Each structure stands twice: as structure tokens, then as C-alpha cells.
A and B are shown apart, each in its own frame.
Chain A
């Protein structure tokens, strides 16, 4: 009996002292900015409260963002964005689920900037589309951050632009994403 207890205690102590490094990281402050530029109008929406997770062992990453949390310089733009285009009452969130396709190239324990390609599915306005974007993973003093710039066509997401404002809204929207992750301890 004593031997069994001793083994159990030893096993517990071993498990306690064994440091398990997490492979999952998250942020609740991912920064997403979109730009629609035309000669007549420059539209910029910013959101610094997107959520993102990354599993560095597999390269799996996802994002979620509340459409109503995008902010604009002009109140009217914000109202039109929510009411007329993305219909954020009906479709409150946009999500991305995907993975870094060349995750094996990223040395998460060595400082550096690593070019990556991310592919996955972007869901917005009730429509899911495959997207692929180039970006980089930066590792600096144990901190992991990612950044990417890519374009989407808003017509792909069933967002209609009325003809009266066709010259003011570009069908191609540029999206910048910057995320600074921390270990997920959930």
C-alpha cells in the first residue's frame, strides 16, 4: 500500500513539476482596418477589438470581429456601413477560420520575421468564401505577432453598392490585420 501511495505521490509531483508549454495563443485586441479608395471618397473603418487565436503547433488560426465595432471618421459612413451594406443587425459578426500553410517554416522559439501564407474561409454578410493572404509572423523575445494585407471583393459577399454611390465605393476593399498574441491559459 505504501509503495502504491509513494508511486502516486511521485507521479503527481512529476506531473506538477513538468512544465507543459502551451501551443495556443490568443488576442482580444487584434487590429483590423479596411480601406475603400476612390478618387471621390476615401473610406476607412477601424476595429481594435477583434479576437484571434493561433495554435503554433498546427498553424491553425481564426478571427472573429463585431461589425458594429468598426469606427469611422464620419458618423454617416458608420451608419451606412451598418445599415445599408453589411447589415450588422442581421449579420453581427465576421469570422475567419484557416491555417498557415507553411507553418513548418516558422521557428516560434527563434526571433525573426517569417513570411507566411494563410488560407481559410472568411464569413461575412452571411456568405462564406475561400481566401488566401500573404503575411508575416514576427517572433521577438517570446512574443508572437502576425500581420497581413489582402484584398477582397465586396460583391463576393453579396454586398450591393447602389448606383448613386458607385463612384464613391470601391468594390475592391483592402484589409490590414495586425495581431499581437499572448499565451492562452484557459
Chain B
């Protein structure tokens, strides 16, 4: 009887512990994730421009590593948005980064960098969220 009670108590505590863990769980840091896709920013933008539905099936919610030329860096209260060249002069791959990321402060317009993020689809640009710098390259 004691054993049953003890096992029940342990199971109960495990369930409570798991519940707390799940409730307070935060998103994994993208820098710690492995990229499923590595692709130039221009190719990702062109793929979405050609066929958004098909590209969504390949890339949406995947950890994607894109390499491209920085055409815009914008800082606001909520974070930093970096635009990577899509090859058409105006649109490309937009990447949302955290201000607290030290590597982000080194990003320069015109440099070529690699960013890892979660692809969420396309609006005017292909949109990557929760991004992290993989390889800053001084030009």
C-alpha cells in the first residue's frame, strides 16, 4: 500500500513538474538551433516570388540560414530589423533580431552576413523571426 502511495505521489509530482515546465517554457534560442536549410537570401526571395505556396511548404516554420548583403538596418523600441538584398533593389529577406545580441551592433549596411531565423512566410519580403547572427563579415 505504501509503495502504491509513494509511486502515486511521485507520478503526481512529475505531472506537476512537467506542467510547470511546459507553462513557463520559453522559445529555444535560435543561435542554439540547427538550420534545416542554408540558402542565399536572393534565392529564398526568388523562390517565394515565383511560388509562395510551394515555398511555404518548403520553408515556413523551418530554421533557415540565409546569407546576403545588408541593405537596411533599422532599430526601434522593439528590436532590430535587418533587410537582406533580394536582388530586385527594393525587397528581400527581412530579419528580426534582439537588441541585446552583441553581434547585432556590429552589422553594417553593405556588408554580407549570415543570419539564422525562423521563416514565417512572405509579405512584401520574406519574413524571418527570432533571428541570430551566424557569421558577421567585415567588408
Measured CB to CB, the residues of A under 8 A from B are: 26, 28-29, 31, 46, 48-51, 64-66, 68-69, 71, 73-76, 78, 92-93, 180, 185-186
Contacts and interface: CB of A to CB of B under 8 A. Distances in A.
Contacts of A50: 123
Nearest to A29: B81
B120 interface: yes
B139 interface: no
Given A28-B94, A66-B121, A68-B60, A49 B27 contact: no
B127 to A, nearest CB: 5
Given A48-B96, A92-B56, A28 B23 contact: no
Contacts of A46: 78
Contacts of B28: 75
A75 B78 contact: no
B120 A28 contact: no
* Secondary structure call for the B interface: mixed
B130 to A, nearest CB: 7
Contact of A28 (B24, B26, B60, B83): B83
Interface residue tally of chain B, by bracket?
20 to 34
Contact of B61 (A29, A31, A48, A68): A68
A31 B27 contact: no
A97 B87 CA distance: 29
B81 A49 contact: yes
A75 B123 contact: no
Given A92-B56, A186-B90, A28 B123 contact: yes
A48 B76 contact: yes
B81 A78 contact: no
B123 A64 contact: yes
B17 interface: no
A78 B130 CA distance: 13
B40 to A, nearest CB: 20
